[in-house]
Amino acid sequence: EEKTLLFATSTCPNCKMAEQFLNKAGIAYEKILADKNPDLAEQYDIHQAPTLVVVLGGEVEKIVNLSNIKAYTEKAAK
């Protein structure tokens, strides 16, 4: 199973920028509002937004904060 989850909050400006990076790189993702989905945020141990969670073959990779998400999208877009 492969999925990409963007944990965001409704008020976070960096989360909107993270979405733009993901969209520009053509990465399919599901946006999860951490404040509206506390159980899911807890399941993935999310402590700040934006955090990108990439689940690939049972492995979970967490990419925390905007600069790391940007670097990930630039790598993925190549």
- Kindly write down the DSSP assignment for every residue of 31-66, as one continuous string: EEETTT-HHHHHHTT--SSSEEEEEETTEEEEEESH
User: Using one digit for the tens of pLDDT, what is the confidence trace for 19-73?
Assistant: 999 999 999 999 999 999 999 999 999 999 999 999 998 899 999 999 999 999 9
Q: What pLDDT, on a 0 to 100 scale, did the predictor assign at position 76? A: 86
Beta strand 59-64 with 51-56 is antiparallel
Q: What pLDDT, on a 0 to 100 scale, did the predictor assign at position 60? A: 94
State how far the Cα of 2 lies from the Cα of 13, in Å rounded to an integer: 27
3-state SS assignment for residue 4: strand
